[in-house]
Structure 1
Amino acid sequence: MARIELETFIQASPAACYALALNVQAHLHSTQQTGERVLDGPASGQLALGDVVTWEARHLGVRQRLTVRITAATRPRHFRDELVRGAFKTLCHDHYFDAVPGGTIMRDVFEFSSPAGIVGRWFDRLFLTRYLTRFLLARNAVLKQMLEQVP
């Protein structure tokens, strides 16, 4: 299993970061580069514990569908989304929001594996980890910008 850990400092409260990270419109805005859209499940508003959403987006030149469920939620500190159905063998994405002086450290722990055995592990480590790291960093930069905008 491959693992990505990222931290982003945001000048906003953990509650604001948590709420925006679970907001469907914010998710769609932060993933515009992949043309992400909701195929099934809540298409607007806040996601909550137990919600299941099927997202469709273009990754690596291929249209992908990924169905995830919110399997843990402790407002405003943590939530987890896990794979129900999709191109991965496993996928678990933990989102942590820790208060620090001046704001919040938003921390992602993203664990995944491809379904293709040894070849999949090689692909995960050499290529997919870099791609997904860039994707998550870009998404987090958009969320940070949204949260830090001066009204």
Structure 2
Amino acid sequence: MIEHVCVIPAVPARVFELELDVDVHAGSLAASSETATTSTGRRTLGLGDEVTFRARHFGLPWRMTTRITACEPPHRFVDEQTRGPFRSLRHEHLFEDLGNGTTRMTDRMTVTAPLGPLGAIVTRLLLNPYLSHLLKQRAAHIEQQAESQP
């Protein structure tokens, strides 16, 4: 499991809203040419919504569809891969009010690669560090967005 924790100078409702905005998500990963298409056409996700991400990672085109499987505003939501490159991927987003207009945002991601034991090695040595980096990059973007658009 990958876990990333950061403190963002915004109230939980604002951080929660930014995390569910697919345009903010795509913007956070602009270096990988990320795009996002939602099942509803809305740009903000809700319970049961699906979003398909397309990007380039490791120099290869990637496509993954996830569904919001739990949504408890403004404290928690979960997205899980329904189609894509992994055997499974589950990403839990947690938002804790620290008072004084700040939020502790915690990302917990569990990913399982295909190919059994070989996939487990690839996950440990390559995917987990890479995904951890993407979570940090995304959190920094969320913080920037929260500060620039109160």
Tell me the TM-score normalized by structure 1. Answer: 0.93
How many percent identity over aligned positions? 38
Distance of 1:33 and 1:43 partners within structure 2: 24
Contact 1:23 1:44 in 2 (8 A): no
Q: Compute the RMSD of aligned alpha carbons.
A: 1.4
Q: Which of 38, 46, 49 in structure 2 is aligned with 1:48?
A: 46
Where do 5+ consecutive residues of structure 2 fail to align?
A: none
More deviation, 25-34/80-89: 25-34
Cα distance in 1 for partners of 2:146, 2:48 equals 25
Instruction: Identify the residue that residue 30 of structure 2 maps to in structure 1.
Output: 32
Instruction: Measure the CA separation in 2 of the matches of 1:43 and 1:30.
Output: 20
* Structure 1, unaligned runs of 5 or more: none
Is the contact made by 1:71 and 1:80 (CA closer than 8 Å) also made in structure 2? yes
Offset of 1:131 from its aligned partner? 0.7
Aligned residues: 149
Which structure 2 residues correspond to residues 100-139 of structure 1 after superposition, within 5 A?
Answer: 100-102=98-100, 103-139=102-138
Structure 1 segments of 4 or more deviating over 2 A?
38-45
Residue 6 of structure 2 aligns to a residue in which SS? strand
Tell me which moved more, 26-35 or 86-95: 26-35
Residues 58 and 138 of structure 1: CA distance in aligned 2, closer, same or farther (over 3 Å): same
SS in 1 for 2:3: strand
Separation in structure 2 between the aligned mates of residue 24 and residue 42 of structure 1, nearest angstrom: 12
1:132, distance to aligned residue in structure 2 (A): 0.7
